[in-house]
Chain A
Amino acid sequence: MTDVNNTPDSGQDPSRRDFIHIAAVGATAVGGAFVIWPFIDQMNPAADTLAEASTEVNLADIDEGVTVTVMFRSKPHFVRRRTQAEIDEARGVDVSSLPDRDARNVNIEAGAPATDENRSALTAMVDDGVEVDDALRAAFLVSGANCTHLGCVPTGEAGAYDGWFCPCHGSHYDTSARIRRGPAPENLPIPPMTFISATTVRLG
């Protein structure tokens, strides 16, 4: 700023002019950010995608030792009726020896230990007036079917722990769908589930 601008009768207050410049540039920057946001946000899931669906599974159709893969919220999920040997194997594991000791089950409190009881359908909610056989609930394991490493669908009844084996990068899951070996960081997640009849479970 020159002295000319500082003379009172020049009518040009330098700090006032600076303020106008800063305000104009500032407003442009904020306006620019507002313009950019729609271009970024348009890539997020659209409203119809977000509309959450629920999926019902008829457990009576699933025999012992069989896994059914269902789609729930556009992701595959395993529904497996485990054999007694598989349940015993899963229950016999010391939780403190697991790579991920968290049950990863939204049906129970966060951070609960990854025991088989905390992973199986024993944790599913039950609608009023519905009676479900506990042995049936203990036998069923419902979990996400995307490996927690990079999202591949693991192969069933495979791997070193008789559960699932992910062919992509070699993660081994046990019969409770808990990660036991390999690069995956977490157990397969248990989705929200509710028994709406003695043999029907609703995911979501």
Chain B
Amino acid sequence: MSGPSTYKPSTGFEKWLDERLPIVRLGWDSFVDFPTPRNLNYWYTFGGILTVCLMVQILTGIVLAMHYVPHVDMAFASVERIDRDVNFGWLLRNIHAVGASMFFLAVYMHIFRGLYYGSYKAPRELLWILGVVIYLLMMAAAFLGYVLPWGQMSFWGATVITELFGALPLIGGPVTEWLWGGFSVGNATLNRFFSLHYLIPFLIAGVVGLHIWALHVPGNNNPTGLTAKTSNDTLPFHPYYTVKDGFAIVVFLVIFAFFVFYWPDALGHADNYIEADPLVTPAHIVPEWYLLPFYAILRAVPDKLGGVILMFGAIGVLFILPWLDTSRVRSMRYRPVAKWFFAFFVVACLGLGWAGAELPDNKVPVLGAIGVDFLLLGRVLTLYYFAYFLVILPVLGFVEKPKPRPASIEADVLGSKKSGDAAAPAGAPAE
């Protein structure tokens, strides 16, 4: 979609600059005149929202690092000092901590959007894979950052996650000690986690650059999944989508601010306000909410290595998703069977999060009466999670009869009734 540039330098300085470093041209072509499908709904605003989230985390993180001390004896106290004594420290820390949750909230919306509208399919496979890389880096940054306050959940979360690598045959022990820099999570671990936590957001920013680059080659997918063919299918990014994204960002920031000012600890865990104690594990350790589904998958297998493999496999399967979904129709709007499997997939992910938050032996409400505990619930939903990618999507592409699709994006949006008749026959490529 990156056609010939429409940028016209208007002043002498812009002409001079354009011949030497066409940076204004790049910005113009990418964010002003960029042709964007005219039918993008609000699910498509999360890319812009996520950019804001990343910038908020980097800015607040840089200033928090000016007050934080990465030492086992002082880390906890330095965070308390930020909360109580540093000017506006309470605000900056709340924004950073709540910001992590908001970042994940937005990224899950963004990912589910991509799953529903088939945004991972050709020619956007690399765009999708880069997105999964960003998601992995986000999880690493969130995990490392959660360790820094050096509370009980920090310490024991760090212990459990680093011990996951101990499940590797032969090299497990040396790898874990290498990660720790000792024989348990300690000062060496805290120091390196701080260093890496500072590094990763900049790696994310780099991959985001690639992600946007890969987006701007084929252009945006859209709710119809059809490829934009004529200029009637698209609108310039500015002002149409700068304004739409801007409005969505404002709404998102209202929710963000609500948590920051009124409910800052709602998304965290009270045990993290107890300083780390290597002798006592909290009675019930859980990760932050956004990692709970993977925690449930880890626990679903009664074998250490098996659980670890399955947990990493849950993310690994996303990398090959573009080749697992065999349907030639992108958007599930026109896939009457797949959309129900998708809806249940969303429910399964939420259910896995619930199972991850509860003790495995606890009974599930209502279903507990017939002996269903959270371990069993986690197992059933883990099975569905993998079946969705490895069985349902591959098979459905062959057996499902898609609904007729509109002739073009323009026809879909501007609602000409007869365009439905011109729809491609079922099973034909979306393009």
Q: How far is the CB of A87 from chain B (nearest CB, A)?
A: 25
A45-B188 Cα distance, complex, nearest whole Å: 8
Q: How far is the CB of B272 from chain A (nearest CB, A)?
A: 16
Q: A169-B360, A183-B302, A183-B307 are in contact. Are A45 and B281 (CB under 8 A)?
A: no
Chain B residue contacts of A185, Cβ below 8 A: 303-304
Size class of the A contact interface (CB-based, 8 Å): 20 to 34
A168-B281 Cα distance, complex, nearest whole Å: 8
A75-B183 Cα distance, complex, nearest whole Å: 7
Within 8 A of A (CB), among B63-105: none
A43 lies within 8 A of B179 (CB): yes
Chain A residue contacts of B162, Cβ below 8 A: 151
B278 lies within 8 A of A151 (CB): no
A151 lies within 8 A of B163 (CB): yes
The answer to the question of B184 belonging to the interface, with a C-beta cut-off of 8 Å to chain A, is yes
A169-B278 Cα distance, complex, nearest whole Å: 18
A73-B304 Cα distance, complex, nearest whole Å: 24
Chain A residue contacts of B360, Cβ below 8 A: 169-170
Chain A residue contacts of B164, Cβ below 8 A: 150
Partner of A167, one of B179, B180, B281, B303: B281
> Closest residue to A149 on the B side, CB-wise?
B304
The answer to the question of B182 belonging to the interface, with a C-beta cut-off of 8 Å to chain A, is yes
The answer to the question of A10 belonging to the interface, with a C-beta cut-off of 8 Å to chain B, is no
The answer to the question of A44 belonging to the interface, with a C-beta cut-off of 8 Å to chain B, is yes
Within 8 A of A (CB), among B156-202: 156, 159-160, 162-164, 166, 177-184, 186, 188, 192
Chain A residue contacts of B192, Cβ below 8 A: 43
A153 lies within 8 A of B181 (CB): no
Within 8 A of B (CB), among A166-183: 166-170, 182-183
Q: How far is the CB of B187 from chain A (nearest CB, A)?
A: 9
Q: A151-B159, A152-B285, A168-B281 are in contact. Are A44 and B181 (CB under 8 A)?
A: yes
Chain A residue contacts of B302, Cβ below 8 A: 182-183
Chain B residue contacts of A45, Cβ below 8 A: 177, 180-183, 188
A49 lies within 8 A of B183 (CB): yes
Within 8 A of A (CB), among B337-373: 359-361
A127-B126 Cα distance, complex, nearest whole Å: 66
Chain B residue contacts of A76, Cβ below 8 A: 278-279
Chain B residue contacts of A43, Cβ below 8 A: 178-179, 181, 192
The answer to the question of B38 belonging to the interface, with a C-beta cut-off of 8 Å to chain A, is no
Q: How far is the CB of B431 from chain A (nearest CB, A)?
A: 45
The answer to the question of B280 belonging to the interface, with a C-beta cut-off of 8 Å to chain A, is yes
Q: How far is the CB of B94 from chain A (nearest CB, A)?
A: 28
A63-B13 Cα distance, complex, nearest whole Å: 86
Within 8 A of A (CB), among B245-291: 278-285
B283 lies within 8 A of A44 (CB): no
Chain A residue contacts of B303, Cβ below 8 A: 183, 185
The answer to the question of A184 belonging to the interface, with a C-beta cut-off of 8 Å to chain B, is yes
Q: How far is the CB of A28 from chain B (nearest CB, A)?
A: 26
CB-defined interface of B18-30 with A at 8 Å, one 1/0 digit per residue? 0000000000000
Partner of B186, one of A74, A145, A169, A182: A74
- 13 contacts across the A-B interface (CB closer than 8 A): A45-B183, A74-B182, A75-B278, A151-B159, A151-B162, A151-B166, A153-B279, A155-B281, A167-B283, A168-B160, A168-B281, A183-B301, A183-B304
Binding site for A on B (CB under 8 A): 156, 159-160, 162-164, 166, 177-184, 186, 188, 192, 278-285, 299, 301-304, 307, 359-361, 375
Q: Which 4 A-B pairs have the closest CB atoms?
A: A151-B163, A152-B281, A150-B163, A150-B160
